[in-house]
Amino acid sequence: MAIDLLKRANYDTSGLRSKSWDEFAVPGAPKMDFVFTVCDSAAAEACPVWPGQPMTAHWGVPDPAAVEGTETEKALAFADAYRMLGNRISIFVNLPIASLDRLALQKRVSEIGKS
């Protein structure tokens, strides 16, 4: 369902796949400045140590894949998660990152996940 939603939103999903966090801990992995966890259950799990000490925040949303019910109810759960993450990403990309010190930026990034 998630792939169908992204395709309907005109995102090219070819070549994309789910990845384990440990793929980003090997030599030559992409450098990350920010890491956001999104699964509601992730808040209770131990977070890995990310190479390069990126800024991290938890932006939990209910897991749409866990929804049981009709196909319509499942599709609505994915659409709702997509909307919530889209809103948070929009707020994030509009932060005045260059004018905030690291502590203030960390506070703002964490607050986004609480809205």
pLDDT in tens, 43-81: 566 667 788 889 999 999 999 999 999 999 999 999 999
Average the pLDDT over 2-6 and give the result.
85
Are 59 and 36 a contacting pair, CB within 8 Å?
yes
DSSP label at residue 70: -
Average the pLDDT over 5-29 and give the result.
87
CA dist., res. 83 & res. 75, Å (int): 12
SS3 assignment, position 58: strand
> Residue 8: is its pLDDT beyond 70?
yes
Are 88 and 112 a contacting pair, CB within 8 Å?
yes
Q: What are phi and psi of 24, to 5 degrees?
A: -95, 5
